Amino acid sequence: MFEKILVAMDSSGIGSRVVDSAVSLAKGVNAHLMLLHVLAPEEENSPGVPGFIGMDYYPWRLDDVNISYRKQWDEFESECLELLRSRTMLAVAEGVKAEFIQIPGSAGETICEFAKNWGADLIVIGHRGLSGLSEFILGSVSNYVLHHASCSVLTVQSKVVKSHESVKTDGMESCTS
């Protein structure tokens, strides 16, 4: 059924749930895992894109911004690589054949392209549950992958909202159903 499972992960909290789900599935079908992290400035914990506002007034500061940003980006890249290594080692410890790769790029496009080139049968990806304006502004990597992947996609939800749960926000109360 599934022989090659691509695990698209990021550095957010849901990343470990995505890997755990993929490892559990891979054990059951004796599949090979490839853990992929795409280095993208849009990622939740990344240093983002350096700001150059006001640099036309202070052009001599541009070098300082570039040096500081490069240092932050290098730290982010190293932390993500270590996270990939540790999660891969956990999969191997569970008896699953696993490897990892980290690639810079646009997350959704890179995941779909890598899955196709690697010959993945399944992509396992997290879904943070953004909706409305947040999803419109930030985009949804999982939504992009669902619509553009050349193979099946399994999404792991970040949280489950119970039916008829009462939610309070800044003195206002709403009920979800």
The residue with tokens 């939800």 is 157
* pLDDT score for 65: 66
More confident residue, 62 or 119: 119
- In CATH, what number is assigned to the domain containing residue 106? 3.40.50.620
The residue with tokens 């599949």 is 31
Phi, psi of 130 (to 5 degrees): -65, 145
Q: What does pLDDT average to over the chain?
A: 82
* pLDDT score for 46: 79
- Quote the number of domains for the chain: 1
Tens of pLDDT, residue by residue over 111-132, are: 999 999 999 999 999 987 666 6
9/68 Cα distance (integer angstroms): 26
* pLDDT score for 174: 47
Q: How confident is the model at residue 50 (pLDDT cuts 50, 70, 90)?
A: low
Domain residues for the domain of 150 are: 4-175
* pLDDT score for 14: 78
